[in-house]
Amino acid sequence: MRGKLLDLVLVLGGLVMIAPLVWLVVNALSEPINAFQLPPQWIPNPPTLQNFHQVPGLIPFARMAWNSLQIAVLTTAGALFTSAMAAYAFNRLRFPGRDQIFSVLLAALVVPVQLTVVPIFIMMRWLHLVDTTVAIWLPALVNVFGIFFLRQYISSIPRELDEAAIMDGAGHFWILFRVILPLARPGLTALGIFVFEASWNNFFWPYIFLSTPEKMTLPVGLVSLQGAVGGGPAVVLFAAITLVVLPILILFLIFQRSFIASIATTGLRA
C-alpha cells in the first residue's frame, strides 16, 4: 500500500517534469489566437502546422540544422579517433615521459572549457577562423576526457590478446583497430553518444564564436529567433524549439538503453 502511494507520487512528479514539454508542443501546434490560453489547453484545438512554416522565414533553420549536424558529426568522429589512438598509446606503449604527460592531461580534465575560450578566441582570430563552424569543431577534435575514459576501458582488455596478435606479426594499428577497438565497442558507443549530444546542445562556444545567422548552430539560432519574434505571441519560437527538441526525444526513445548507459558509465556532464 505504501509502495503504491510512493509510485503515485513519483508518477505525478514525472508528469510535472514533462508538463513544460507538452505545453511547448501544444502551443507550437496551436493557431496564434488559441495559443497561451489560461487555463492551459493540453490539446491543440484545432491543431495546425502553420507556425512551423513560418520558422524558415525568420531564421535560416535548415542551414543551422546542417551546421549543428556537421559540427556534431565531425566532433564525435574526431574525438573518438584521437581518444582511441591516445588511449592506446598511454596504456599499451612505453615511451619516456608517458606517465608525466598523462598526469598533465588529468590536470587538464578539471579545467573548464570556459577558461580556455579567451586564448582559443585569440588563436582563432589569428587564423581568421572566427565566425566559421571550423572554430567550433577544430578545438573539439581532441577530447581529454575521452582519452582518460577509453584508457580506463582499454586497460581492462587482457594483454594476452595483443601478444597473440604480435606473434602473428601484427603492427600497432592492426592491434588497435582489429583487436582492441572491437572489444571496446560499448565504451566507444557510450563516449560517442555523449560527445554527440554535448556538441548538439552546446551553447556557450557557438554563442561566442558565431555571429552570422547562416553560420550559427541551432541553440544559438533559437536564442536569436527570440529577438526576431519580439514581444508578440511566441508560437513560432515554440515551433522552432519543438523542431530542435523532437529529434533528440525520438533518438532517446529508440536508444534509451545506450543513452542511460552512457551517462552511468562516462559520468560526463554537458
What is the contact surface with other proteins in residues (CB under 8 A)? 3, 6-7, 9-11, 13-15, 17-21, 23-24, 36-40, 110-115, 117-119, 121-122, 197, 200-204, 207-208, 218-220, 222-223, 226, 234, 237-238, 241, 244-245, 248-249, 252-253, 256, 259-260, 263-264, 267, 269
Total residues found in the chain within this entry: 270
Return the number of the residue (36 or 102) whose C-beta is nearest other proteins.
Answer: 36
Which of 18/43 has CB closer to other proteins? 18
Query: Please, which residue, 162 or 215, has the CB nearer to other proteins?
Result: 215
Residue 147 neighbours by CB under 8 Å, 6+ apart = 82, 83, 86, 87, 90, 105
In 3D space, the residue among 56, 47, 33 whose CA is nearest the CA of residue 240 turns out to be 56
In whole angstroms, the minimum distance from the beta carbon of 248 to other proteins comes to 5
Do residues 183 and 102 touch, judged by C-beta distance below 8 A?
no
By beta-carbon proximity to other proteins, the closer residue of 77 and 261 is: 261
Least separation in angstroms between residue 122's CB and other proteins is 7
CB of 221 to other proteins, least distance (A): 9
Q: Which is nearer to other proteins, 8 or 164 (CB)?
A: 8
Give the nearest distance from C-beta 141 to other proteins in angstroms. Answer: 21
In this complex, which beta carbon is closest to other proteins, that of residue 179 or of residue 268? Answer: 268
For the CB of residue 112, give the shortest distance to other proteins in the complex, in Å. 5
Q: How far is the CB of 71 from other proteins (least distance, A)?
A: 13
